[in-house]
A and B are shown apart, each in its own frame.
Chain A
Amino acid sequence: EIVLTQSPGTLSLSPGERATLSCRASQSVSGSYLVWYQQKPGQAPRLLVYGTSSRATGIPDRFSGSGSGTDFTLTISRLEPEDFAVYYCQQYGSSYTFGQGTKLEIK
């Protein structure tokens, strides 16, 4: 099973700043199968980015994904107040696995 490790565990930034979230896999992941979700308190996760870099429907272009092999990144170019949430990466190999999440909090 591929293990995904996200860093940092918590990221404290201010609105307008740039956020860089990391997701590292225990073995190589097909770029087609690396995904990012956003989850706010009391809500279900929301699909943000799939196939490493394709934004889901309705996702603003300040969200971008990149990476390959074992290292993937979600970048939020300029943080808006509604972006403060928990972010999960997910991969599919023989089954689905998720990272443990990065909490993006207001500084």
Chain B
Amino acid sequence: NAGVTQTPKFRVLKTGQSMTLLCAQDMNHEYMYWYRQDPGMGLRLIHYSVGEGTTAKGEVPDGYNVSRLKKQNFLLGLESAAPSQTSVYFCASSPGQRDGYTFGSGTRLTVV
């Protein structure tokens, strides 16, 4: 049972480039989330989804877009990368609204 799988694990982008981070879960969870983790700031929610075909904004959504075309996948897109988006990105999923999250192992993104 793989749990939550994130790809890629590392990426370096130039300012203005675009990319998509993929998150896949095999636990049939309804809820999926994208967080970013920065030193001293904990985990901040970017976007989330409460089911297939739904998405919603979190605390820091600017500069990011998401899609949940299939229940098991949640994609995070950066249309025009900026140095401020240098961070570690974590995807998570949960069965319901007030259940524990299962996190992926993260994607370390550097924008130069």
Whether chain B is bound by chain A comes out as: no
B contact residues vs A (CB 8 Å cutoff): none
A contact residues vs B (CB 8 Å cutoff): none
